[in-house]
Amino acid sequence: MNQSRNPTPYLVFSLLLIVLDQLSKFLVYKYMEPGFSGQIPLIGNWLKLHYVLNPGMAFGMQLGHEYGKLFLTLFRLVAMCAIGWYLIHLARSGASKGLLWALSMILAGAVGNVIDSTFYGVLLKNAPYGSPTPWFHGQVIDMIFVDFWEGFIPEWIPVWGGQYYSTPIFNIADSCIFIGVCSILIFQGSFHSDHSDHSNHSDHSDHKDEDETPVETTLSATDEHTDIPSTPVKLEDDETKKES
């Protein structure tokens, strides 16, 4: 049986990442100008802070439907709850620590963007013009710009083909999801191996305990059997003394 892990450290880690994500978005909203006019170079011309509003999915992608944003936000809410439950379930099942850390990053990213989509339309009044309601239509604040490509996407690519794009601008929540997913894909073999080794070790310990029990019983029975001849031997000695 696998040893259960305490899910609290992984949930606290998610909470810290959520706070960091929301703090960075608030600072960008408060102190930066949107667009190229407020752009701040960090490392040369390829890593910059660039304040934009994203009405759609991660990395600037959008759903072209009147209620697409609402569906996306509701989907994020469901996914957030499912990931949180799955993280706790895996922790109690004794899953690999690496897998749990990766899932905690994915959970943090999901919650961070859910907060934007659900509340920013009301709190920051940044819902797109014509939205049915500001609730669940908030635009996500993006600011990390790794500028190494821009141009037209080939026509043969579905949905975005023929349109002009630059490298996506994203936020800390997007980064958490990306790093968490990549970690699971790259290290899933070691995650599974760690879990299997832990399981085999537990099974070996259980079998060892079971094997020790009959040994003690056998020794106990042997000791009792060894004591049996002692009584008749003593009686023989007493009778010999009487005859003499």
Annotation marks residue 237 as catalytic: no
Annotation marks residue 223 as catalytic: no
| 8 A C-beta contact, residue 138 and residue 127 | yes
DSSP of the chain: -PPP--SHHHHHHHHHHHHHHHHHHHHHHHH--SSGGG-EEEETTTEEEEEEEESSSGGG----STTHHHHHHHHHHHHHHHHHHHHHHHHHTT--HHHHHHHHHHHHHHHHHHHHHHHHHHHT--PPTT-S-STT-PPEEEEEEE-S-EEEPPTTSTTTTT-EEESPEE-HHHHHHHHHHHHHHHHHHHHHHHHHHHHHHHHHHHHHHHHHHHHHHHHHHHHHHHHTTHHHHHHHHHHHHHH-
Catalytically annotated residue among 21, 116, 142, 197: 142
| 8 A C-beta contact, residue 124 and residue 25 | no
Overall residue count recorded for the chain in this entry: 244
d(CA 142, CA 59): 8
Catalytically annotated residue among 116, 147, 174, 237: 174
Closest by CA to 54, choosing from 152, 171, 160, 148, is 171
Catalytic (active-site) positions: 142, 174
